[in-house]
Structure 1
Amino acid sequence: IEVDEMARFVRHVRSKVPANDTVPGRVVLLVELFLYVGGNILFNVIFFQGLRCTVHGVLLHFLAHVRILDYCLAVTHFSSVT
């Protein structure tokens, strides 16, 4: 029986990623905040654009009623004077 042996040149084997305790806390919080805020930007843009269009439509509808009301008052006022 032949056994092949290799020389062991590996020394102080450890992970390259630091443990959770050695990661700076502020950096992690800033990255989490950036991802939380940045992840919702597209949603916020679409939401506020839709909200802006809705408010614009409601204001146009309201101003149309005011214009009609103002027109009726002006016609009634002129007709009652004559």
Structure 2
Amino acid sequence: MSALGAVNERLRDDYIKDSQRGLDRWNRALEALGVDFKLELPHRFFNRQIGNAAGVRVSPDGRVIGEEEWQTGVSDWLPTARTWPTWTR
């Protein structure tokens, strides 16, 4: 891995840790309200467009999957024109 790649990975690690702290905070709030739901971060390689994992199909839970399973699940995992509010376009 190049020096720049190593720096990018370190920054990604820091970003993931920071994001997880935020989700932990929201999950505590949901639990306190009696909501039976947990927010989770997807795997670090999920839906990667650049870097070492670009083009590798990885599910949100970190399983390497084939194109068919990706196409079946992607509309449940990512916003689509059907699920994304019209006012955001």
TM-score range, shorter chain: 0.3 to 0.5
| Structure possessing the higher relative contact order (Cα contacts under 8 Å, 6 or more residues apart) | 2
Is the radius of gyration larger for structure 1 or structure 2?
A: 1
Q: TM-score, normalised by structure 1?
A: 0.38
Bigger fraction of residues in helix? 1
Q: TM-score, normalised by structure 2?
A: 0.36
